[in-house]
Amino acid sequence: MQIQENISLRPYNTFAIDAKARYFASFKEIDALEEALNFKHQTPNLILGGGSNLLLTKDFDGLVLKNEITGIAELHEDNNYVYVKVGAGENWHQFVLYCIKRNWAGVENLSLIPGNVGASPMQNIGAYGVETNDVFYNLEAFHLKEKKLVTFTRNDCAFGYRDSIFKEKYKNQFVILNVTFQLQKKPYFNTSYGAIEQELERMGVKELSLRAVSDAVINIRSSKLPNPAEIANAGSFFKNPEVTPGKYEELRLSFPGIIAHLLANGNYKLAAGWLIEQSGPDKNGTSWKGFRRGDAGCHAKQALVLVNYGSATGKDIYQLSENILQSVNEKFAVQLEREVNII
C-alpha cells in the first residue's frame, strides 16, 4: 500500500476538477484499507469509486481512499434467482454486461451508468424504471472508526429515490466492500419506461432479449447524455422534486406544459430538467439550457446536466448550481435538491 501526497484528483472525477488530495491511497483488499486508515490516523477520509457523482469544491485536506476491490462470484442459486457477490471496485457497466452474457435479468435497464458497483447502493442508482433496490440482496461494509465489518440487508439500507442510509445517518461512516445482487434466472423485460419501446422498434428487434434492451438503453443514453470523456460532467446534477397534488395543480394551471408523473403515494414528481429549461439567468427569457459562464455551463441538450468545458473550478460549478436553484425557486416556488455529492 502506497500513500501519495498532494496529488491532483483531476483524473479521478468525471467533472475533471483539478482539486488536490493531501494524501491518496488505493486499496484492493481490506488489509490494505486498514493499513491506510492507520496511517497518521488521517481524518477526514473520502472514499472514491469512479468519481462520477461528486463535485470537488476545494482541495481535500485528508486521505482519499480509492476502492479497487474486484471480483465477481456466483454464491448460490435457487429456482428463480442467482446470487452474485461483486467487489465494490468493479465497473458498473462491465458488471451489467457480465449479467447479460449469462442471461441473468434485472440490471439491463441500468446499462451505461458510469461509476463502480460500490457506489450503486449509495444513491440507489436508477434509470428507465429500475433501481439498485430492485436487484439488491445485501452488502458488506467496513466501519471506518470502529474498524469492524457489518452486513446490511435491503431493509437496513433504507433505500429511497437516489438515497440510502449511507447518504443520511451513516454518511462518511462506512466503506462498502462488496454488494450481492439477486438476479432473475428467467429473463423478464421492463420496456415500458421512457423511449425503450420506440428504440427497440427503430432497431428492428423482433424478439426481445436482455442484450436488445441493454442496447436500446445504451442508444438512448448516448444520444441524450454527454459522455464525460468528451465533456466533463457528473450526470444529472439535481433530483426531480416531489410535490403535493395541491402544489402540482397550482403549477399546472400557471404552466400547462409542466412535465410530471404521479407517484404511488399520490404526490407528483416534477421533471427538474424542464423546470431548469424554463428558468434562466435573467428575466428576459434566456434559458439555462446551453448557458455558459467561463468554463462552467448547462449542457445544450440536457439542462439537468452541468458541465465543465475545461478549466472550471468546483466553486464555479457550485455557484452556477446555486444560481439555478434560486431562479427555479423564484419562478416556480419549488426547491431543487442536488443529486451530486458536494465535497
Chain residues that interact with ligand FAD, rule: CB under 6 A: 14, 46-54, 67, 88, 113-116, 118-120, 122-123, 125-127, 174-176, 225, 228, 233-235, 341
Please state the closest distance from residue 225 (CB atom) to ligand FAD, in A: 5
Nearest CB to ligand FAD, comparing residues 91 and 267: 91
DSSP string, 39-75: STT--SEEEESSS-SEE--S-EEEEEEEE----EEEE
Please state the closest distance from residue 123 (CB atom) to ligand FAD, in A: 5
* DSSP state, residue 116: B
Catalytic residue numbers read 162, 236, 339
CA separation for the pair 154, 180 (Å, rounded): 10
Nearest CB to ligand FAD, comparing residues 86 and 270: 86
CA separation for the pair 269, 252 (Å, rounded): 13
Residues β-bridged to residue 180: 85, 138
Spatial CB neighbours of 326, under 8 Å, sequence gap ≥ 6: none
Please state the closest distance from residue 300 (CB atom) to ligand FAD, in A: 15
Nearest CB to ligand FAD, comparing residues 16 and 251: 16
Q: Are strands 174-184 and 54-55 parallel, antiparallel or unpaired?
A: unpaired
Nearest CB to ligand FAD, comparing residues 26 and 52: 52
What is the phi/psi pair of residue 256, to 5°? -60, -25
Please state the closest distance from residue 185 (CB atom) to ligand FAD, in A: 25
Please state the closest distance from residue 19 (CB atom) to ligand FAD, in A: 13
Please state the closest distance from residue 323 (CB atom) to ligand FAD, in A: 21
Closest CA to 138 of 98, 179, 174: 179
Nearest CB to ligand FAD, comparing residues 49 and 106: 49
Cβ–Cβ < 8 Å for 150, 143: yes
Residue 28 CB coordination number (10 Å): 16
DSSP H helical segments within the chain, as ranges? 30-38, 92-101, 132-135, 154-157, 196-202, 210-224, 245-254, 272-277, 314-332
Nearest CB to ligand FAD, comparing residues 225 and 270: 225
